[in-house]
């Protein structure tokens, strides 16, 4: 879904508001959230998720076009979104319904694999930081 589709869906649900009002509301929301993140604030929307800034460390990279190695890339802040428990649950349930029993069967198989490897189903395999 892109911004114009979001505006269309919202104006379909909110009959009392015109498309122009919904458009203004969406643009204002995005502007306020962008300004907050730019000033270093964290945005928490209960049941949906949290927007914050994460710092990417400086690193040495390779130019894929020329093959030149040793190019310094400075550190920077990037926006980050962490979904809330309610959003994760809703997405998981809808994807399981949509994809049918194939994914549910795979998930059950993964749980038994995890239990055989010494991890509980709740723990799963060890997580890797990305």
Report the domain count for the chain.
3
Q: Which two tokens stand for residue 115?
A: 């239990």
Task: Name the residue range of residue 56's domain.
Answer: 44-83
C-alpha angle 93/91/80, rounded to 5°? 155
Residues 94 and 106 in one domain: yes
| Nearest Cα to Cα of residue 52 among 61, 62, 39, 65 | 39
What CATH number does residue 61 fall under?
4.10.520.10
Q: How many residues does the chain have?
A: 130
pLDDT by residue (tens digit) across 6-23?
A: 999 999 999 999 999 999
Is the confidence at residue 121, as pLDDT, over 50?
no
How does DSSP classify residue 121?
T
Neighbouring-strand partners of residue 53 = 79
Residues 53 and 71 in one domain: yes
pLDDT by residue (tens digit) across 69-80?
A: 889 999 999 999
Task: Determine, yes or no, domain membership for 128.
Answer: no
Task: Determine, yes or no, domain membership for 18.
Answer: yes
C-alpha angle 114/120/125, rounded to 5°? 50
Task: Determine, yes or no, domain membership for 129.
Answer: no
């Amino acid at each position: 879904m892109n911004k114009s589709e979001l505006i269309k869906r919202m104006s379909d649900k909110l009959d009392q508001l015109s498309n122009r009002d919904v458009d203004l509301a969406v643009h204002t929301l995005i502007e306020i959230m962008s300004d907050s993140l730019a000033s270093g604030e964290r945005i928490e929307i209960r049941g949906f998720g949290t927007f914050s800034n994460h710092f990417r460390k400086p690193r040495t990279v390779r130019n894929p076009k020329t093959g030149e190695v040793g190019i310094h890339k400075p550190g920077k802040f990037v926006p980050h979104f962490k979904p809330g428990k309610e959003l994760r649950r809703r997405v998981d349930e809808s994807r399981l319904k949509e994809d049918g029993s194939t994914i549910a069967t795979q998930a059950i198989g993964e749980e038994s694999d995890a239990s055989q490897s010494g991890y509980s189903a709740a723990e799963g395999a060890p997580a890797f930081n990305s």
